[in-house]
Amino acid sequence: MFGLNAKDTTLLIIVAILTMLAPFILNPFPEGSDLAQFNAGYPDLMQRFVIFGIFAIGFNILFGLTGYLSFGHAAFLGVGSYAAIWMMKLLTLNVIPAIIMSIVFAGLFALFVGFISLRRSGIYFSILTLAFAQMSYALAYSVLTPITGGETGLQLKSTDSPLLSNLAPGEIGRANLFGIDMRTSYELAVGDWLFTFNAGYYIAALVMLIGFYVSIRIFRSPFGMMLRAVKSNQQRMNYTGLNSKPYTLAAFVISGMYAGLAGGLMVAMDTQVGPERMFWTASGEVVLMAILGGVGTLIGPVLGAGLIKYMENIISKINSTILHDWFAFLPDGLEDAVVFILYPFIGKGWHLTLGIVFMLVVIFLPGGLVEGGQRIARLFRRKKSDDAAKTPAE
C-alpha cells in the first residue's frame, strides 16, 4: 500500500485511525467529573500534538538516522512561522501558500546553516547549530524588528489588506482553507461526554499523516540506508570513497523543512508569531521529544511530542485546590501532608515531573516509549507461548 511493506502499512493505518479518532480517545472522562481534568480532547491541545509531532518527525530524520544532534532547530520553526504570517499579511489568508512559503524559506535557511555547521561533527556541530539559533533569536527580537515585530511579534491586524482576499475596511482576517475557517468546530454531546471536532485540527492532522508517510519512505529508501551508514561509522564510509557530506546536508535540509512546516501550521492555527519560538529552549524541547519517544524509530517522536505537550498543558493546570478536592476523603492532617508532597510536581512545577520521567526513561528505557511498548508486547507473547506449551497435544 502506497509503496510500503505490510508492517509499515499497518503502522500508518494505526496512526491514521488514532489521529482521526483523537477527539474520542483524548476525552475518556465525562464533563464535570473530577477526572475530566485529564481530558485533552480540545482543539488547541490536539493541534499542538500533531504540529509538534511534525516538528519531532523532522528532527528524527536528522538525529535518528545520521546521529547529528542539532540544538538549533527552533530557528527553522521560527523562520517558517514568519514566512507564513507575512504571506497571510501580503498575499492571501488561505493557508496553503503560507505553508508552502514556510517550507521553502525554512529549507533555504537550513541549507545555509547546514552548509556551515556540517563542516564539523559531534559536539562542535551541536554548538554551531545552537549559535545560529541564538543569533536568529537575537535578530528577530531586536535587530530585525520591522520584519519580525520584535518583542511583541506579528499578527493579523485590521490594517492588513492581503492582495487576494476581500476584506471589509477594518476587518481582521482569519486563516482559512478555501473558505473553511481554521477555528470552525462542531461539538457532539453523548451523555455526559462532550467531543469537539475542529477543522484546523483535522487539516493539521492530515498534513502530519503525509509527513509521517514521507518519513517512512525516507527511512526505507537507499538514501535512508546511507544516512544510517553515516551514523554507524562515517569515517569508514569515507574510506570507501563515498562522500557523506551531500547526504548529511540533504538530511539537515529535509529536517529543517519539516520544522518550517510545523511553524507554518502553528501560524495557520493561531495567526500570531513571536521570537520566543526561536529560543534555545524550543530546540531542547524537540530533543526531549525524540529521546522520550525513541530516537531512530518511526512513531517514537510523535509519542514523545504528545507526552511533553500533554504534561505541559494538563499537569501544569493542576493546582492545590484540585489536589485538596481529590484527597478530601483523607483525614485533614493526612490530606494536607499528601498535598504538600505532591504540590511541587504539578502546576508551575510540571518541569520537575518531566525531568523525573526523562530520567526514568533514559535509565530504564533507553529506546524510549517505543521500547517500553515492545517489552510489553514481548511479555504478552511469551505468556501466550507459555500457555500454549502447557496445553497437552491432542
Cα gap 105→112, rounded to integer Å: 11
* Residue 246, Cβ density class (10 Å: 0-12 exposed, 13-18 middle, ≥19 buried): exposed
For residue 250, give the nearest of 118, 69, 120 by alpha carbon: 118
What is the crossing angle of helices 350-364 and 280-293, to 10°?
Answer: 40
Helix (DSSP H) and strand (DSSP E) numbers for the chain: 16, 6
Q: What is the pLDDT along the chain (394 residues), one digit of tens a residue?
A: 678 889 999 999 999 999 999 999 999 988 888 788 888 988 999 999 999 999 999 999 999 999 999 999 999 999 999 999 999 999 999 999 999 999 999 999 999 999 999 999 889 999 999 999 999 999 999 889 989 998 888 988 888 888 887 787 878 888 889 888 888 999 998 888 989 999 999 999 999 999 999 999 999 999 999 999 999 888 888 888 888 899 999 999 999 999 999 999 999 998 889 899 898 889 999 999 999 999 999 999 999 999 999 999 988 888 888 888 888 888 888 988 999 999 999 888 898 999 999 999 989 988 899 999 888 888 888 877 666 666 554 3
Q: How many CB atoms lie within 10 A of CB 254?
A: 19
- Give domain limits for the chain: 6-279, 314-394
Which of the listed CATH numbers 1.10.3470, 1.10.760, 1.20.1060, 1.10.287 matches domain 6-279?
1.10.3470
Cα gap 51→59, rounded to integer Å: 13
Cα gap 19→197, rounded to integer Å: 12
CB 277 within 8 A of CB 78: yes
For residue 92, give the nearest of 149, 29, 160 by alpha carbon: 160
What value, to the nearest 5°, has the Cα angle with vertex 348 and ends 344 and 353?
Answer: 55
For residue 308, give the nearest of 262, 261, 368 by alpha carbon: 368
Residue 96 sits at φ, ψ, to 5 deg, of -60, -55
- What global pTM score does this model have? 0.93
